């Protein structure tokens, strides 16, 4: 009897440990996790990016936007369970929608629908002397930072 009770206690603890490792809102197996962007990511000519646009750029999980203040870049890795929204979701001028569990972010990366609770990280955007964009994914900046486009 004691052995059986001990077995059930161990089984219960294992079930709790497993459920604690599953992100809130996940009803099924863990989604495929994306890789955070890193290094210098080349983009198009700054003047070719339309005001009001938001779109993937380069091969990594990063998106580039432009509003009235200038250019900005954000990760496309969902803050809920790290799905790459470029692969599993949609990116449009109005924001990002994660296809894994339904989180939605506005065009500046703020959460507008969970289960995600944290905004998307922003990265430094540089304009080279030839007018092309470089995103420095190793340097995080505040979500209010913009790189003005002249010309």
Binding site for ligand FES (CB under 6 A): 31, 78, 80-81, 83, 98, 100-103, 115-116
- Give min distance, CB of 22 to ligand FES, in A: 11
CB nearer to ligand FES: give 86 or 101.
101
CB nearer to ligand FES: give 70 or 89.
89
CB nearer to ligand FES: give 49 or 98.
98
Concatenated DSSP letters of 86-144: TTSEEEETTEEEETTT--EEETTS-EEESS--SPPPEEEEEE-TTSEEEEEEEEEE-TT
- Give min distance, CB of 94 to ligand FES, in A: 17
- Give min distance, CB of 40 to ligand FES, in A: 26
- Give min distance, CB of 35 to ligand FES, in A: 14
DSSP tag of 24: T
CB nearer to ligand FES: give 64 or 81.
81
The string over 91-126, giving b where at least 16 C-beta atoms fall within 10 Å of a residue's C-beta and e elsewhere, is beeebbbbebbebbbebbbebeeebbeebbbbbbbb
């Amino acid at each position: 009897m004691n052995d059986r009770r001990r077995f059930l206690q161990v089984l219960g603890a294992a079930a709790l440990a497993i459920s604690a490792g599953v992100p809130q809102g996940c009803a099924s197996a863990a989604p495929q996790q994306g890789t955070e962007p890193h290094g210098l990511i080349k983009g198009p000519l700054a003047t070719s990016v339309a005001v009001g646009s938001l779109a993937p750029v380069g091969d990594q999980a990063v998106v580039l936007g432009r509003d009235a203040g200038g250019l900005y870049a954000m990760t496309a890795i969902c803050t809920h369970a790290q799905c790459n929204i470029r692969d599993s979701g949609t990116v449009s001028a109005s924001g990002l929608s994660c296809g894994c569990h339904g989180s939605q972010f506005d065009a500046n990366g703020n959460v507008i629908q969970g289960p995600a609770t944290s905004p998307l990280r922003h990265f430094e955007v540089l304009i080279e002397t030839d007018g092309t964009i470089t995103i420095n994914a190793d340097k995080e900046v505040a979500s209010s930072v913009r790189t003005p486009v002249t010309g």
